[in-house]
């Protein structure tokens, strides 16, 4: 309670800038926050929700969310590299209706490959971005002995967009009651410790009745979930490695953002949940692939100072086709909305966004 009061007091001292809405003010507050201080006292931590603590004043109550686990078998969960269904826990917020090694390697090694589109394509040739993993792995393996070296291409990666050709797993959506969910496309955001995700609403999909699934890996982040309007103050919550967020119903079109990636309190370390390797023997029908010691060394070094977020979406409703002409809301520059960027004026992605005529 004292931490909460101190956090409210700290926030109250932040001066509102001219024309600044409630969401932007809180975004700026958490962007400047420090781990281990009272600044984070009002951030919801779902990893401690099972302790049953009462809600702090001004913070939405965390409630258990019933899962339809009968629609997912233990075998289904095992195939997708998920924990046993009996261990699944889901939570919601009042007022808001609605085995990581494999997926980390996929995000860094497989999904970064062509023909997928990434932020580096705007500043480099197709040949230069052909295999980011192969060009970066030796740099990352030698990082422990050469911390002053330039960032590898993987470390300069900010986002990748994926399309229909990926066979996404659907078990999480089914367990949450979204039968028939078609996982058709995705966006990967790659965060460094100085990265942010700006305030936005995910509107690009043609069908907003289906949920958006968000998977987090690596360092923890502060996630802000607001309302339909920017003048509604958002709720702050932690997103830890292995967390899955489902935005659906009323929450599907709410403003949200990531103002801060939090470094590990013990320095450049992995979260404890990433210390458990994949089983030595995988089921014959498993969706997972073995991860070699060499590959995991690259992934682990990367994640000690980074976070990867994967969002999976259904784009079209059943029997719906793409329109002949793109809708106005899909004509925006892809770097301007819903994609990770460095909060730094010299960043090529942000510079291009701030100076559209250059």
Which residues fall in the annotated binding site for Fe cation? 200, 202, 256
SS3 309: strand
Q: What tokens appear for 61 in the block?
A: 């109550």
99 Cα distance to chain centroid? 17
Per residue in 38-52, is it b (16+ CB within 10 Å) or e — as a string? bbbbbbbebeeeeee
Sign of the CA dihedral with 88 first, then 165, 285, and 217 last:
negative
How is residue 234 annotated by DSSP? Answer: P
CA gap 173, 180 in Å, rounded: 9
Binding region: 200, 202, 256
CA gap 347, 203 in Å, rounded: 26
CA gap 353, 358 in Å, rounded: 9
Q: Is 258 exposed, middle or buried (0-12, 13-18, 19+ CB in 10 A)?
A: buried
Contact assessment for residue 43 and residue 8, using Cβ atoms and an 8 Å cutoff: no
To 5 degrees, how large is the angle CA 180–CA 210–CA 76? 40
């Amino acid at each position: 309670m004292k931490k909460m009061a101190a956090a409210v007091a700290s926030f109250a001292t932040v001066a509102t800038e001219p024309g600044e809405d409630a969401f932007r003010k809180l975004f700026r507050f958490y962007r400047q926050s420090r781990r281990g201080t009272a600044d984070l006292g009002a951030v919801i931590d779902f990893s401690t929700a099972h302790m049953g603590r009462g809600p702090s004043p001004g913070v939405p109550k965390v409630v258990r969310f019933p899962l339809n686990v009968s629609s997912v078998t233990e075998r289904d969960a095992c195939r997708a590299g998920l924990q046993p269904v009996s261990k699944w826990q889901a939570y919601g917020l009042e007022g808001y209706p609605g085995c990581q090694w494999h997926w980390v390697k996929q995000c860094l090694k497989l999904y970064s490959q062509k023909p997928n589109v990434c932020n580096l394509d705007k500043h480099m040739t197709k040949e230069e971005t052909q295999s980011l993993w192969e060009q970066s792995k030796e740099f990352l393996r030698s990082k422990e002995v050469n911390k002053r070296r330039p960032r590898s291409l993987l470390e300069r990666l900010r986002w990748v967009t994926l399309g229909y050709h990926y066979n996404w797993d659907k078990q999480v959506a089914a367990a949450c009651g979204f039968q028939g969910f078609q996982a058709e496309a995705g966006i990967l955001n790659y965060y460094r410790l100085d990265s942010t995700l700006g305030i936005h609403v995910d509107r690009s999909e043609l069908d907003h009745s289906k949920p958006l699934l968000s998977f987090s890996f690596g360092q923890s982040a502060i996630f802000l979930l607001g309302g339909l309007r920017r003048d509604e103050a958002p709720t702050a919550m932690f997103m830890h490695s292995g967390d899955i967020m489902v935005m659906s119903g009323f929450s599907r079109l709410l403003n949200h953002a990531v103002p801060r990636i939090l470094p590990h309190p013990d320095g450049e370390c992995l979260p404890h949940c990433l210390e458990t390797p994949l089983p030595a023997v995988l089921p014959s029908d498993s969706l997972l692939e073995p991860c070699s010691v060499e590959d995991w060394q690259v992934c682990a070094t990367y994640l000690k100072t980074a976070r990867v977020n994967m969002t999976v979406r259904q784009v079209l409703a059943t029997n719906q086709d793409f329109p002949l002409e793109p809708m106005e809301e899909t004509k925006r520059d892809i770097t301007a909305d819903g994609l990770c960027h460095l909060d730094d004026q010299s960043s090529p992605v942000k510079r291009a966004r701030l100076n559209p005529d250059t």
